[in-house]
Amino acid sequence: MNKIYTPPPNDWKEILRRPTQTVEDIEATVIDIFKEVNQKGDAAVAKYTSIFDGVTLKSNRVSSLEIDQAIDALDQEVKAAIQLAKNNIEKFHKAQQTGRITVETTPGVSCWQEKRPIQKVGLYIPGGTAPLFSTILMLAIPAKIAGCKEIVLCTPPSKEGAVNPAIIYAAQVCGVTRIYKVGGIQAIAAMTFGTETIPQVYKIFGPGNQFVTVAKQLATKYGVAIDMPAGPSELLVVADDTADAAFVASDLLSQAEHGTDSQVILVSTSRNLITAVEKEIQEQMSTLSRKRIAQKAIDNSKLIYVEDDATALALIDEYGPEHFIICMENEDFYVNGIQNAGSVFIGNYTPESAGDYASGTNHTLPTNGYAKQYSGVSLDSFLKSMTFQKISEEGIKNIGNAIEVMAAAEGLGAHKNAVTLRLDKIKKATS
């Protein structure tokens, strides 16, 4: 890892740069595939599935037989773990439910807000080097709680044309209505436009590589909403001498193994801890099954020494990490002060892996600095807030003149007239 000591603030932007390609490097490919899927539908999806996934499918939809076979084939221990995680995720997201909010703003003027589910949502689940069935729980569970009627899932097939049984099982127990063997750009395009077999959706959720991230952003140009621009995984740990170096190293490696373009950073006020963590990383790296991937991510990562808590927090807020672990004696300073982070993990016994799987919080989070302006996925991500109002004769008399004055000041005569006609009718009826 790259070790950096007391970097001046003017250098932070360069030091904290993510190891990702620019949109310009990717956008042309995404645009071409979107155009072809829009024009040719399933034929274009099949073409790019063959090119990118190396398989030609008779059908891109997972059949009921495949679902039954996957459920039977999956290890009981994995099923039990999924059920435990499902219960915790359901508890946390059900707690986010809110009822109608009603206010009488002026006598006779009643306003209220209610939430309605997004009717059709699309979930993208990466299935390349790691089948992320845990992401299904994070997306399908709140979608089901919200009341979404159609929950469509797309995930890349293997070269044998199969989908990992854990993905199918998780989708089934979480209420997914349709599962498709489609990955990458073509999956996002298919859910954006709809094809002969894949329905168009109103909002697309889920992480992916840089091509998927750009594809989701392009989908917004065609009237489809997205959860957030979520790209390669990242983790920042802030730690001092109260931290366990082995724990810190294990957390850094847990994110590094996601992909070669992942980034992990340690910020510390202890030089000794930096040295100990670097040693632990090398020792633990040798035991990893995804050592090659993790090593490339570590090559893009940083060990940064700063002299005090205030400098550390300012640097962390500048980075805006997707995942943020706090292992500091003065943990309250960071917990209360952090402004830009997707999800925060506090203390030596709170690994980021807990949030990835089973603690209950959602792991679909903003990356690439978007934590400065985006939230992670929550129940509200699958809902729309709608406002209602009902005004009585008394109410329109109370606010009518103000509306007339404001409309006239803006030069919108028809707006003013819509109120004037009502006020005149009330006057005539009472005269």
30-51 pLDDT, tens per residue? 999 999 999 999 999 999 999 9
List the 263-268 sheet strands across, edge first.
2-5, 302-305, 263-268, 234-239, 323-327, 343-346
Flag whether 93 is marked binding: no
As a whole-number percent, the residues of the chain with pLDDT over 90 amount to: 90
pLDDT score at 24 = 75
Instruction: Name the CA dihedral angle for 56, 62, 66, 70, rounded to a multiple of 10 degrees.
Output: 110
Q: How many Å apart are CA 156 and CA 381, to the nearest integer?
A: 24
Q: Using one digit for the tens of pLDDT, what is the confidence trace for 334-348? A: 999 999 999 999 999
- pLDDT of residue 259 exceeding 70, the answer is yes
Write down the pLDDT at residue 20: 66
Q: Which of 322, 331, 363, 404 is catalytic?
A: 322
Longest Cα–Cα distance in the chain: 91
Per-residue pLDDT band for 18 (boundaries 50, 70, 90) equals confident
Residue 384 phi/psi, 5-degree rounding, is -120, 135
Sign of the four-CA dihedral 216, 183, 138, 141: positive
For residues 202 and 148, what is the distance between their CA atoms, to the nearest angstrom? 11
415 annotated among ligand-binding-site residues: yes
Q: Is 180 annotated as a binding residue?
A: no
Please check if 255 is assigned to a binding site: yes
CA distance 308 to 337: 14
So what's the pLDDT on residue 266? 98
Is 300 a residue whose pLDDT tops 90? no
Q: What confidence score (pLDDT) does residue 1 get?
A: 80
Nearest to 316 by CA among 60, 9, 5: 9
DSSP state of 25: H
Which strands make up the sheet holding 150-155, listed edge to edge?
Answer: 178-181, 150-155, 120-124, 203-205, 225-226
Tell me: pLDDT of 22 over 90: no
The response to whether 363 counts as a known ligand-binding position is no
Give yes or no for residue 131 having a pLDDT over 90: no
User: β-strands 225-226, 203-205: how paired?
Assistant: parallel
**pLDDT, tens digit, 9 for 90 and up, residues 351-375:** 999 999 999 999 999 998 999 999 9
Per-residue pLDDT averaged across 232-239, rounded?
A: 94
Catalytic annotation present for 318? no
Q: Known binder of ligand: residue 76?
A: no
Please identify which of the residues 93, 234, 257, 323 carries the catalytic annotation: 323
Assign residue 231 a region: left if phi > 0, alpha if psi is -120 to 50, beta otherwise?
Answer: beta
pTM score = 0.93
Distance of CA 55 to the CA centre of its chain: 29
At CB < 8 A and 24+ separation, what contacts does 270-274 make?
270/239, 270/240, 270/241, 270/305, 271/5, 271/305, 272/241, 273/239, 273/240, 273/241, 273/243, 273/245, 273/248, 274/3, 274/303, 274/305
Structural domains in the chain, CATH included, are: 2-20+232-360 (3.40.50.1980), 23-230+380-384 (3.40.50.1980), 392-430 (1.20.5.1300)
Query: Was 172 annotated as part of a binding site?
Result: no
In this predicted model, what pLDDT tens digit does every residue of 166-198 receive, in sequence order? 999 999 999 999 999 999 999 999 999 999 999
Q: Specify which of 19-33, 123-137, 289-303, 316-330 reaches the highest per-range mean pLDDT.
A: 316-330
Is 93 labeled as catalytic in the residue annotation?
no
Query: Would the annotation count 258 as a binding residue?
Result: yes
Q: What is the enclosing helix (H) or strand (E) of 315?
A: helix 309-319
User: Virtual CA dihedral for 56, 71, 177, 353, nearest 10 degrees?
Assistant: -90
